[in-house]
Protein backbone atom coordinates (compact mmCIF):
# COMPACT_ATOMS: atom_id res chain seq x y z
CA UNK A 1 0.00 0.00 0.00
CA UNK A 2 1.35 3.45 -0.90
CA UNK A 3 1.94 5.97 1.84
CA UNK A 4 -1.19 7.71 3.03
CA UNK A 5 -0.46 11.37 3.65
CA UNK A 6 -3.62 12.38 5.41
CA UNK A 7 -7.03 11.23 6.53
CA UNK A 8 -10.06 13.41 6.60
CA UNK A 9 -13.18 12.51 8.48
CA UNK A 10 -16.14 14.31 6.97
CA UNK A 11 -19.80 14.05 7.69
CA UNK A 12 -20.96 12.54 4.43
CA UNK A 13 -24.69 12.32 4.71
CA UNK A 14 -26.56 14.53 7.10
CA UNK A 15 -29.64 12.37 7.44
CA UNK A 16 -27.78 9.12 7.99
CA UNK A 17 -25.15 10.93 10.03
CA UNK A 18 -22.53 8.60 8.52
CA UNK A 19 -18.89 9.48 8.94
CA UNK A 20 -16.45 8.47 6.21
CA UNK A 21 -12.67 8.40 6.11
CA UNK A 22 -11.21 9.93 2.95
CA UNK A 23 -7.72 8.65 2.19
CA UNK A 24 -5.70 11.35 0.49
CA UNK A 25 -2.41 10.93 -1.37
CA UNK A 26 -0.64 14.01 -2.70
CA UNK A 27 -3.83 16.05 -2.44
CA UNK A 28 -5.85 13.40 -4.37
CA UNK A 29 -8.54 11.22 -2.77
CA UNK A 30 -7.53 7.58 -3.35
CA UNK A 31 -10.17 5.74 -1.36
CA UNK A 32 -12.97 5.88 1.16
CA UNK A 33 -13.99 3.83 4.09
CA UNK A 34 -17.13 4.03 6.17
CA UNK A 35 -16.66 3.97 9.91
CA UNK A 36 -17.82 0.33 10.07
CA UNK A 37 -16.21 -1.08 6.89
CA UNK A 38 -12.91 -2.90 7.13
CA UNK A 39 -11.65 -2.24 3.54
CA UNK A 40 -11.36 0.73 1.23
CA UNK A 41 -14.40 1.11 -1.04
CA UNK A 42 -14.85 3.15 -4.27
CA UNK A 43 -15.87 6.57 -3.17
CA UNK A 44 -16.53 8.49 -6.39
CA UNK A 45 -20.21 8.68 -5.55
CA UNK A 46 -19.65 9.81 -1.99
CA UNK A 47 -17.23 12.47 -3.18
CA UNK A 48 -19.59 13.68 -5.90
CA UNK A 49 -22.40 14.03 -3.39
CA UNK A 50 -20.23 15.66 -0.79
CA UNK A 51 -17.68 17.57 -2.78
CA UNK A 52 -18.91 20.88 -1.39
CA UNK A 53 -18.80 19.58 2.17
CA UNK A 54 -15.28 18.20 2.11
CA UNK A 55 -12.89 20.53 3.88
CA UNK A 56 -9.24 19.57 3.92
CA UNK A 57 -7.29 20.00 7.13
CA UNK A 58 -4.85 22.21 5.22
CA UNK A 59 -7.56 24.71 4.33
CA UNK A 60 -8.51 24.88 8.01
CA UNK A 61 -5.20 26.04 9.36
CA UNK A 62 -5.93 29.31 11.13
CA UNK A 63 -3.47 32.17 10.85
CA UNK A 64 -5.43 35.32 10.12
CA UNK A 65 -8.17 36.18 12.56
CA UNK A 66 -10.78 38.93 12.46
CA UNK A 67 -12.71 40.00 15.55
CA UNK A 68 -15.99 41.85 15.01
CA UNK A 69 -16.86 44.16 17.91
CA UNK A 70 -14.07 45.94 19.77
CA UNK A 71 -15.93 46.04 23.09
CA UNK A 72 -15.03 44.47 26.44
CA UNK A 73 -14.69 40.90 25.13
CA UNK A 74 -13.83 41.57 21.50
CA UNK A 75 -10.74 43.56 22.54
CA UNK A 76 -9.66 40.88 25.01
CA UNK A 77 -10.07 38.05 22.48
CA UNK A 78 -8.17 40.01 19.83
CA UNK A 79 -5.31 40.90 22.15
CA UNK A 80 -4.96 37.37 23.52
CA UNK A 81 -4.80 35.97 19.96
CA UNK A 82 -2.33 38.67 18.85
CA UNK A 83 -0.04 37.98 21.83
CA UNK A 84 0.03 34.36 20.70
CA UNK A 85 1.24 35.32 17.24
CA UNK A 86 -1.93 35.55 15.14
CA UNK A 87 -2.44 38.39 12.67
CA UNK A 88 -5.46 40.33 13.80
CA UNK A 89 -8.04 42.59 12.22
CA UNK A 90 -10.57 44.22 14.54
CA UNK A 91 -13.79 45.57 13.08
CA UNK A 92 -16.32 47.90 14.68
CA UNK A 93 -19.19 49.93 13.32
CA UNK A 94 -17.87 53.50 13.51
CA UNK A 95 -14.81 55.59 14.33
CA UNK A 96 -15.93 56.27 17.91
CA UNK A 97 -16.38 52.56 18.69
CA UNK A 98 -13.06 51.78 17.00
CA UNK A 99 -11.26 54.46 18.99
CA UNK A 100 -12.71 53.03 22.21
CA UNK A 101 -11.47 49.62 21.05
CA UNK A 102 -7.98 51.02 20.43
CA UNK A 103 -7.91 52.39 23.99
CA UNK A 104 -9.02 48.99 25.33
CA UNK A 105 -6.24 47.23 23.42
CA UNK A 106 -3.66 49.67 24.79
CA UNK A 107 -5.06 49.15 28.29
CA UNK A 108 -4.71 45.40 27.80
CA UNK A 109 -1.04 45.84 26.93
CA UNK A 110 -0.59 47.52 30.31
CA UNK A 111 -2.53 44.71 32.05
CA UNK A 112 -0.47 41.97 30.39
CA UNK A 113 2.82 43.80 31.03
CA UNK A 114 1.90 44.63 34.62
CA UNK A 115 0.88 41.08 35.51
CA UNK A 116 3.83 39.40 33.81
CA UNK A 117 1.57 37.55 31.35
CA UNK A 118 3.77 38.52 28.40
CA UNK A 119 6.89 40.65 28.00
CA UNK A 120 6.55 44.31 26.91
CA UNK A 121 8.20 43.31 23.62
CA UNK A 122 5.59 40.60 23.02
CA UNK A 123 2.68 42.91 23.80
CA UNK A 124 4.16 45.69 21.63
CA UNK A 125 4.45 43.14 18.78
CA UNK A 126 0.84 42.08 19.43
CA UNK A 127 -0.37 45.66 19.02
CA UNK A 128 1.78 46.03 15.89
CA UNK A 129 0.16 43.01 14.24
CA UNK A 130 -3.37 44.25 15.06
CA UNK A 131 -5.18 46.42 12.50
CA UNK A 132 -8.44 48.21 13.26
CA UNK A 133 -11.01 49.01 10.59
CA UNK A 134 -14.58 50.19 10.13
CA UNK A 135 -14.70 48.41 6.75
CA UNK A 136 -15.98 44.87 7.20
CA UNK A 137 -14.65 43.70 3.82
CA UNK A 138 -11.16 45.13 4.52
CA UNK A 139 -11.16 43.54 7.98
CA UNK A 140 -12.07 40.17 6.47
CA UNK A 141 -9.55 40.10 3.62
CA UNK A 142 -8.00 36.62 3.67
CA UNK A 143 -9.45 35.86 7.15
CA UNK A 144 -9.33 32.20 8.19
CA UNK A 145 -11.53 32.83 11.21
CA UNK A 146 -14.04 35.53 12.16
CA UNK A 147 -14.89 35.76 15.87
CA UNK A 148 -18.08 37.72 16.41
CA UNK A 149 -18.34 39.72 19.64
CA UNK A 150 -21.16 42.16 18.82
CA UNK A 151 -23.87 42.98 21.41
CA UNK A 152 -25.88 40.16 22.95
CA UNK A 153 -29.05 40.88 20.98
CA UNK A 154 -30.52 38.40 18.52
CA UNK A 155 -31.62 41.10 16.05
CA UNK A 156 -28.14 42.68 16.00
CA UNK A 157 -26.37 39.33 15.57
CA UNK A 158 -28.73 38.13 12.83
CA UNK A 159 -28.31 41.40 10.92
CA UNK A 160 -24.54 41.19 11.38
CA UNK A 161 -24.30 37.63 9.93
CA UNK A 162 -26.51 38.60 6.99
CA UNK A 163 -24.09 41.44 6.24
CA UNK A 164 -21.05 39.26 6.96
CA UNK A 165 -21.88 36.39 4.59
CA UNK A 166 -22.03 38.82 1.68
CA UNK A 167 -18.42 39.98 2.09
CA UNK A 168 -16.50 37.15 3.81
CA UNK A 169 -14.14 34.92 1.81
CA UNK A 170 -15.56 31.43 1.22
CA UNK A 171 -12.91 29.83 3.43
CA UNK A 172 -13.64 31.95 6.54
CA UNK A 173 -14.94 30.07 9.58
CA UNK A 174 -17.46 32.08 11.64
CA UNK A 175 -17.49 31.70 15.43
CA UNK A 176 -19.84 33.55 17.77
CA UNK A 177 -18.87 34.52 21.30
CA UNK A 178 -22.54 34.85 22.29
CA UNK A 179 -23.02 34.26 26.02
CA UNK A 180 -26.56 32.93 26.01
CA UNK A 181 -27.61 31.95 22.46
CA UNK A 182 -27.01 28.62 20.73
CA UNK A 183 -25.57 28.25 17.20
CA UNK A 184 -28.88 26.96 15.77
CA UNK A 185 -30.38 30.42 16.40
CA UNK A 186 -27.84 32.03 14.06
CA UNK A 187 -26.70 29.31 11.62
CA UNK A 188 -29.31 30.10 8.95
CA UNK A 189 -28.07 33.71 8.75
CA UNK A 190 -24.43 32.79 8.12
CA UNK A 191 -24.83 31.33 4.62
CA UNK A 192 -22.29 28.63 5.62
CA UNK A 193 -23.77 26.62 8.50
CA UNK A 194 -21.12 23.90 8.10
CA UNK A 195 -18.44 26.48 8.92
CA UNK A 196 -20.29 28.08 11.82
CA UNK A 197 -20.13 27.33 15.55
CA UNK A 198 -19.69 29.10 18.89
CA UNK A 199 -16.40 29.87 20.63
CA UNK A 200 -17.11 31.37 24.04
CA UNK A 201 -14.63 33.18 26.25
CA UNK A 202 -14.79 34.40 29.85
CA UNK A 203 -13.53 37.76 31.13
CA UNK A 204 -10.72 38.47 31.71
CA UNK A 205 -9.70 36.15 28.89
CA UNK A 206 -6.02 35.80 29.87
CA UNK A 207 -6.87 34.89 33.46
CA UNK A 208 -10.04 32.80 33.16
CA UNK A 209 -8.70 31.10 30.09
CA UNK A 210 -11.44 28.66 29.09
CA UNK A 211 -12.74 28.53 25.52
CA UNK A 212 -16.06 26.70 25.29
CA UNK A 213 -16.64 25.25 21.82
CA UNK A 214 -20.22 24.46 20.84
CA UNK A 215 -21.37 23.18 17.44
CA UNK A 216 -24.85 22.83 15.98
CA UNK A 217 -25.91 19.60 14.24
CA UNK A 218 -24.66 20.76 10.82
CA UNK A 219 -21.25 22.10 11.84
CA UNK A 220 -18.52 20.20 9.99
CA UNK A 221 -16.59 18.11 12.55
CA UNK A 222 -13.32 19.27 10.97
CA UNK A 223 -14.27 22.87 11.82
CA UNK A 224 -14.99 21.84 15.41
CA UNK A 225 -11.55 20.16 15.63
CA UNK A 226 -9.85 23.19 14.05
CA UNK A 227 -11.31 25.46 16.74
CA UNK A 228 -10.11 23.15 19.50
CA UNK A 229 -6.58 23.40 18.07
CA UNK A 230 -6.88 27.17 17.59
CA UNK A 231 -8.02 27.65 21.21
CA UNK A 232 -4.93 25.88 22.46
CA UNK A 233 -2.72 27.93 20.15
CA UNK A 234 -4.09 31.16 21.62
CA UNK A 235 -3.38 30.05 25.17
CA UNK A 236 -6.85 28.85 26.15
CA UNK A 237 -8.09 25.62 27.69
CA UNK A 238 -10.54 24.25 25.09
CA UNK A 239 -13.85 23.00 26.54
CA UNK A 240 -15.61 21.09 23.72
CA UNK A 241 -19.32 20.57 24.43
CA UNK A 242 -21.15 17.45 23.25
CA UNK A 243 -24.36 19.28 22.33
CA UNK A 244 -26.01 22.68 22.22
CA UNK A 245 -26.75 24.17 25.61
CA UNK A 246 -27.88 27.76 26.29
CA UNK A 247 -25.12 29.33 28.40
CA UNK A 248 -22.65 26.50 27.68
CA UNK A 249 -21.27 25.08 30.96
CA UNK A 250 -20.05 28.33 32.46
CA UNK A 251 -23.07 30.58 31.96
CA UNK A 252 -25.54 27.77 32.66
CA UNK A 253 -24.03 28.02 36.15
CA UNK A 254 -23.14 31.73 36.32
CA UNK A 255 -26.17 33.54 34.86
CA UNK A 256 -28.72 32.14 37.38
CA UNK A 257 -26.25 32.95 40.17
CA UNK A 258 -25.78 36.59 39.08
CA UNK A 259 -29.49 37.02 38.44
CA UNK A 260 -30.25 35.74 41.95
CA UNK A 261 -27.83 38.32 43.39
CA UNK A 262 -29.44 41.12 41.36
CA UNK A 263 -32.91 40.03 42.48
CA UNK A 264 -31.85 40.10 46.14
CA UNK A 265 -30.66 43.67 45.58
CA UNK A 266 -33.70 44.87 43.60
CA UNK A 267 -36.07 43.29 46.14
CA UNK A 268 -34.29 45.20 48.94
CA UNK A 269 -33.15 42.08 50.80
CA UNK A 270 -29.59 43.39 51.18
CA UNK A 271 -27.29 45.98 49.59
CA UNK A 272 -24.75 44.90 46.97
CA UNK A 273 -21.76 45.12 49.30
CA UNK A 274 -23.45 42.89 51.88
CA UNK A 275 -24.32 40.35 49.18
CA UNK A 276 -20.74 40.33 47.87
CA UNK A 277 -19.32 40.12 51.39
CA UNK A 278 -21.53 37.13 52.20
CA UNK A 279 -20.41 35.25 49.13
CA UNK A 280 -16.72 36.13 49.53
CA UNK A 281 -16.55 35.04 53.19
CA UNK A 282 -18.75 31.95 52.89
CA UNK A 283 -17.20 30.65 49.67
CA UNK A 284 -13.66 31.95 50.15
CA UNK A 285 -14.04 33.84 46.85
CA UNK A 286 -11.91 36.70 45.52
CA UNK A 287 -14.97 38.66 44.44
CA UNK A 288 -18.72 38.49 44.84
CA UNK A 289 -21.49 38.60 42.22
CA UNK A 290 -21.45 42.40 41.88
CA UNK A 291 -17.68 42.49 41.40
CA UNK A 292 -18.22 39.87 38.66
CA UNK A 293 -21.00 41.88 37.01
CA UNK A 294 -18.68 44.91 36.85
CA UNK A 295 -16.00 42.71 35.28
CA UNK A 296 -18.40 41.31 32.67
CA UNK A 297 -19.74 44.80 31.91
CA UNK A 298 -23.17 46.18 32.74
CA UNK A 299 -24.16 46.40 29.05
CA UNK A 300 -23.91 42.65 28.62
CA UNK A 301 -25.63 41.99 31.97
CA UNK A 302 -28.42 44.36 30.90
CA UNK A 303 -28.79 42.76 27.45
CA UNK A 304 -29.02 39.27 28.98
CA UNK A 305 -31.66 40.26 31.56
CA UNK A 306 -33.56 42.21 28.90
CA UNK A 307 -33.59 39.15 26.61
CA UNK A 308 -34.80 37.00 29.52
CA UNK A 309 -37.51 39.52 30.32
CA UNK A 310 -38.71 39.52 26.69
CA UNK A 311 -38.94 35.71 26.69
CA UNK A 312 -40.65 35.60 30.07
CA UNK A 313 -42.76 38.70 30.56
CA UNK A 314 -43.57 39.62 34.16
CA UNK A 315 -40.53 37.70 35.45
CA UNK A 316 -38.04 39.05 37.99
CA UNK A 317 -35.62 39.59 35.10
CA UNK A 318 -37.76 42.51 33.85
CA UNK A 319 -37.37 44.38 37.14
CA UNK A 320 -33.64 43.69 37.15
CA UNK A 321 -33.27 44.93 33.55
CA UNK A 322 -35.20 48.12 34.39
CA UNK A 323 -33.01 48.67 37.46
CA UNK A 324 -29.76 48.19 35.50
CA UNK A 325 -30.96 50.56 32.79
CA UNK A 326 -31.99 53.34 35.16
CA UNK A 327 -29.01 53.21 37.52
CA UNK A 328 -26.16 52.07 35.28
CA UNK A 329 -26.77 52.02 31.51
CA UNK A 330 -28.35 55.50 31.39
CA UNK A 331 -25.73 56.97 33.71
CA UNK A 332 -22.72 55.48 31.87
CA UNK A 333 -21.63 53.40 34.87
CA UNK A 334 -20.85 50.39 32.69
CA UNK A 335 -18.40 48.48 34.86
CA UNK A 336 -14.63 48.08 35.16
CA UNK A 337 -14.09 49.19 31.57
CA UNK A 338 -15.82 52.53 32.24
CA UNK A 339 -14.09 53.12 35.61
CA UNK A 340 -17.32 52.69 37.55
CA UNK A 341 -20.10 50.14 37.90
CA UNK A 342 -21.28 48.95 41.30
CA UNK A 343 -17.73 49.75 42.47
CA UNK A 344 -15.24 52.46 41.50
CA UNK A 345 -12.05 51.34 39.66
CA UNK A 346 -9.14 50.73 39.56
CA UNK A 347 -9.31 50.16 43.35
CA UNK A 348 -12.75 48.67 44.08
CA UNK A 349 -13.89 48.67 47.70
CA UNK A 350 -14.25 44.89 47.76
CA UNK A 351 -10.48 44.54 47.43
CA UNK A 352 -9.74 47.08 50.19
CA UNK A 353 -8.40 45.85 53.51
CA UNK A 354 -11.24 45.63 55.98
CA UNK A 355 -14.02 44.96 53.42
CA UNK A 356 -14.59 41.50 54.86
CA UNK A 357 -14.46 42.52 58.50
N1 LIG B 1 -18.51 40.83 28.70
C2 LIG B 1 -18.28 39.55 28.99
O3 LIG B 1 -17.77 39.18 30.08
C4 LIG B 1 -18.60 38.49 27.97
C5 LIG B 1 -18.11 37.19 28.19
C6 LIG B 1 -18.34 36.22 27.22
C7 LIG B 1 -19.05 36.54 26.08
N8 LIG B 1 -19.52 37.82 25.89
C9 LIG B 1 -20.28 38.08 24.67
O10 LIG B 1 -19.49 38.84 23.78
C11 LIG B 1 -20.34 39.65 22.98
C12 LIG B 1 -19.89 41.10 23.12
O13 LIG B 1 -19.96 41.44 24.49
P14 LIG B 1 -19.13 42.65 25.08
O15 LIG B 1 -19.23 42.51 26.55
O16 LIG B 1 -17.81 42.76 24.43
O17 LIG B 1 -20.07 43.87 24.59
P18 LIG B 1 -19.70 45.41 24.46
O19 LIG B 1 -20.99 46.13 24.55
O20 LIG B 1 -18.60 45.78 25.37
O21 LIG B 1 -19.12 45.52 22.96
C22 LIG B 1 -19.87 45.31 21.81
C23 LIG B 1 -19.14 45.96 20.64
O24 LIG B 1 -19.82 45.61 19.44
C25 LIG B 1 -19.90 46.77 18.65
N26 LIG B 1 -21.01 46.62 17.71
C27 LIG B 1 -22.29 46.97 17.82
N28 LIG B 1 -22.97 46.62 16.71
C29 LIG B 1 -22.08 46.05 15.89
C30 LIG B 1 -22.16 45.50 14.60
N31 LIG B 1 -23.30 45.45 13.93
N32 LIG B 1 -21.03 45.04 14.03
C33 LIG B 1 -19.87 45.06 14.73
N34 LIG B 1 -19.74 45.57 15.95
C35 LIG B 1 -20.84 46.06 16.52
C36 LIG B 1 -20.06 47.92 19.61
O37 LIG B 1 -19.70 49.16 19.00
C38 LIG B 1 -19.11 47.49 20.72
O39 LIG B 1 -17.79 47.94 20.48
C40 LIG B 1 -21.77 39.40 23.45
O41 LIG B 1 -22.35 38.42 22.66
C42 LIG B 1 -21.55 38.88 24.86
O43 LIG B 1 -22.61 38.05 25.30
C44 LIG B 1 -19.29 38.79 26.80
- Cα–ligand 1 centroid distance for 125 (angstroms): 25
Question: Residue 147: its pLDDT value, please?
Answer: 98
Q: Which of 207, 240, 273 is the last residue of a domain?
A: 240
Residue 314 has what pLDDT?
77
Mean residue pLDDT of the chain comes to 87
Range of the domain at 83: 64-240
Q: pLDDT at position 315, please?
A: 82
Q: Span 41-52, mean pLDDT?
A: 46
Q: Are residues 265 and 189 in the same domain?
A: no
**Are the beta carbons of 349 and 355 closer than 8 angstroms?**
yes
Considering the domain architecture, whether residues 156 and 98 belong to the same structural domain is answered as yes
Structure confidence at residue 153 (pLDDT): 95
Q: 241-259 as b/e, with b when 16 or more CB fall inside 10 Å?
A: beebeebbebbeebbeebb
Q: Does a structural domain hold residue 284?
A: yes
Cβ-based neighbours of 81, under 8 Å, separated by 6 or more: 65, 67, 88, 234
Lowest mean pLDDT among 146-160, 165-179, 305-319: 305-319
Task: Check whether residue 81 and residue 230 sit in a common domain.
Answer: yes
Distance 326 CA to ligand 1 centre (A): 20
Domain shared by 214 and 260, yes or no? no
Q: Is residue 245 in a domain?
A: no
> Are 78 and 223 in the same domain?
yes
- Residues in contact with ligand 1 by the CB-under-6-Å rule are 68-74, 92-93, 97, 149-152, 156, 160, 177-179, 200-203, 296-297, 299-300
Q: Is residue 59 part of a domain?
A: no
Residue 53 reports pLDDT greater than 90: no
Band the pLDDT of 313: cuts 50, 70, 90: confident
Whether the pLDDT of residue 121 is over 60: the answer is yes
pLDDT of residue 40: 52
Domain identity same for 264 and 229? no
End-to-end CA distance of the chain: 74
Question: Which residues are within 8 A (CB) of 75 and not within 5 positions of it... i.e. 6 or more apart?
Answer: 90, 101, 104, 105, 108
Q: What percent of the chain has pLDDT over 90?
A: 80
Q: Are 255 and 204 part of one and the same domain?
A: no
Rounded to the nearest angstrom, the distance between the alpha carbon of 265 and the centre of ligand 1 is 26
pLDDT the model gives residue 286: 95
| Alpha carbon of 122 to ligand 1 centroid (Å) | 26
- What would the mean pLDDT of 326-351 be, rounded to a whole number? 97
Instruction: Give whole-number Cα distances, 274 to 113, 286, 292, 357, in Å.
Output: 34, 15, 15, 11
In the predicted structure, residue 75 carries a pLDDT above the cut 70: yes
In a domain, 133, yes or no: yes
What pLDDT does 17 receive? 31
pLDDT at position 295 over 90: yes
Q: How far is the CA of 153 from the centre of ligand 1 (A)?
A: 9
Average pLDDT over residues 134-141: 97
- What CATH number does the domain containing 214 carry? 3.40.50.720
- Ligand 1 pocket: which of 66, 68, 69 to mutate (most atoms <8 Å of CB)? 69
Report pLDDT digits (tens) over 5-36: 333 333 333 322 333 445 444 444 555 554 44
Q: Residue 312 has what pLDDT?
A: 85
Sequence-ordered list of residues with C-beta below 8 angstroms from that of 273, at least 6 positions apart, any chain: 290, 349, 350, 355
71 and 117 in a single domain? The answer is yes
- Distance (Å) from CA 179 to ligand 1 centroid: 10
Same domain membership, residue 230 and residue 186: yes
Task: Find the 150 Cα to ligand 1 centroid distance in Å.
Answer: 4
Q: Who's near 67: CB < 8 A, 6+ residues apart? A: 74, 77, 78, 81, 88, 89, 90, 91, 146, 147, 149
- Asked if residue 39 and residue 86 are part of one domain, the reply reads no
State the pLDDT at residue 7.
32
| Domain membership flag for residue 225 | yes
The string of pLDDT tens digits covering residues 218-264 is 999 999 999 999 999 999 999 999 999 999 999 999 999 999 999 99
**Which of 214, 240, 266 delimits the end of a domain?**
240
Tell me the sheet residues that pair with 25: 28
**357 domain residue, yes or no:** no
In a domain, 279, yes or no: yes
| Residue having the nearest C-alpha atom to atom 20 of ligand 1 | 71
Q: Does the pLDDT at position 274 exceed 50?
A: yes
Residue scoring higher pLDDT (73 or 36):
73
Give the β-pairing of 130-133 and 87-91: parallel
Query: In CATH, what number is assigned to the domain containing residue 261?
Result: 1.10.1040.10
Q: Are residues 129 and 158 in the same domain?
A: yes
> Can you give the pLDDT at residue 122?
96
More confident residue, 173 or 61: 173
Is residue 283 domain-resident?
yes
Does residue 48 carry a pLDDT above 50?
Answer: no
Which pLDDT does position 42 carry in this prediction? 53
Q: For a ligand 1 pocket test, name from 73, 105, 183, 198 the mutation site with the most ligand atoms within 8 angstroms of its C-beta.
A: 73
Q: pTM for the complete prediction?
A: 0.81
Report the atom number in ligand 1 closest to the C-alpha of 180: 43
Name the domain count of the chain.
3
- Which of 217, 240, 263 is the last residue before a domain boundary? 240
Could you tell me the CA-to-CA distances from 146 to 77, 123, 169, 346 in Å, in that order?
11, 22, 10, 32
Indicate if 175 and 283 belong to the same structural domain: no
pLDDT of residue 35: 42
Amino acid sequence: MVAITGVLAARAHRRLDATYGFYILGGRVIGCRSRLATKLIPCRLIILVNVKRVITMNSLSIRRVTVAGAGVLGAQIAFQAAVHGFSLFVYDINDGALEAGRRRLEGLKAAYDGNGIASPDQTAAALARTTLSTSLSDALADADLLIEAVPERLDIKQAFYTQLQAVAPVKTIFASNSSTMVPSQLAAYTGRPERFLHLHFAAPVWQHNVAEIMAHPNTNPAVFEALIAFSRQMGMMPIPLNKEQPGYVLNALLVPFLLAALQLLVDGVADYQTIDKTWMIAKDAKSGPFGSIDQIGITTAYNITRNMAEQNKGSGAARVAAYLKEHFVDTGKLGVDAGQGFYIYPNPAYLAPGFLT
